Amino acid sequence: MSKITAAITGVGAYLPEYKLTNQILETMVETNDEWITTRTGIKERRILKEEGKGTSFLAINAANDLINKKGLDPKDIELVIVATATPDMKAASTAAFTATEIGATNAFSFDLEAACSSFLFGMSVASSYIESGKYKNVLLIGADKNSSFINYKDRATCIIFGDGAGAVLFEPNNEGLGLQDELLRSNGEGREFLQATYGGSSYPINADTFNEGKHYVFQEGKTVFKNAVFNMADVTERIIERNNLTNDDISWLAAHQANKRIIEATAKRVSLDPAKVMMNIHKYGNTTSATLPLLLHDYESQLKKGDKIIFAAFGGGFTWGSIYLKWAYNS
């Protein structure tokens, strides 16, 4: 009997309507379009502005987009994973609420948090459940409402992040397609350089810390940039080498959309043709857990069965990794 692999068989997405452009940001904080574009590649980002709607709203809409496109019965979904750094609430599972709202009443569910690497790590987890033979339909959603912890007076962070969600369905494959290999890493020493300190169990939020804005995300830009460039490029190169892939073999690089210069540095490290590099950071900014599935959504029409895709991500914590996957269908 041929080995069971875990393949992506469908993609969905959701983006809020409101576009926060560089020109609008110029009226909010001391910055300008040229400065933002040159340093990040971002032109605009989507923001979920409706009061009371959080990450689950994004996740539910992305999941429903996938369900409708595939004509999938939600009751056939056996597991729902929501990869996110911005859950709706403390303790209460965003994934559980999402599963219920989309009608996946036979599924169990959980959240997975590894900052910007959440979806990449989720691909590994979802694939493992499929490869075990116990489950046949695993829904993995990457969703983040980053605007919920951004200080729009801090030009170092408010220019970077946006809101959005993407979803993929993993199913068993007997043709050798799907996830082929992974290299996942983490280093807890990095958390001091990129985090939202207050609001967790170590530093509970109170009136004083809230008024001081300590619940907002903070990053030490130069340190994060340096580590992202080195580590994301390193794991990408290593996974290519250990799978004996040449530049011609690789169909696409799907890298976390944090900064255009980081993406370009990763592609340059492996001497990959820029035409093979998926890019949509200019439209959405850094949507954290949603960047990789949003890339798949935007490029789905160009993907062909058998395409060899290298995924790469880097996030706070620090967390990072690379995955090699063969695409399983023609759009």
Please give the backbone phi and psi of residue 231, each rounded to the nearest 5 degrees, phi first. Answer: -70, -40
C-beta separation of 121 from 142 below 8 A? no
142 vs 287: CA distance, rounded Å:
9
State yes or no: is 116 an active-site residue: yes
Is residue 255 helix, strand or coil? strand
C-beta separation of 131 from 180 below 8 A? no
87 vs 49: CA distance, rounded Å:
16
From the list 61, 146, 173, 256, the catalytic residue is 256
C-beta separation of 263 from 321 below 8 A? no
Please give the backbone phi and psi of residue 97, each rounded to the nearest 5 degrees, phi first. Answer: -65, -40
**CA torsion angle for 101, 284, 169, 116 (degrees, to 10)?**
-90
State yes or no: is 256 an active-site residue: yes
84 vs 47: CA distance, rounded Å:
16
Kindly write down the DSSP assignment for every residue of 66-122, as one continuous string: HHHHHT--GGG--EEEEE-SS-SSSSS-HHHHHHHHTT-TT-EEEEE-BTBTHHHHH
What's the angle, vertex CA 4, arms to CA 234 and CA 116, rounded to 5? 35
State yes or no: is 22 an active-site residue: no
From the list 116, 137, 158, 297, the catalytic residue is 116
From the list 146, 173, 286, 297, the catalytic residue is 286
Beta-bridged to residue 18, according to DSSP, are 47
Q: How many CA atoms lie within 13 A of 149 on its CB side?
A: 25
The residues assigned a catalytic role are: 116, 256, 286
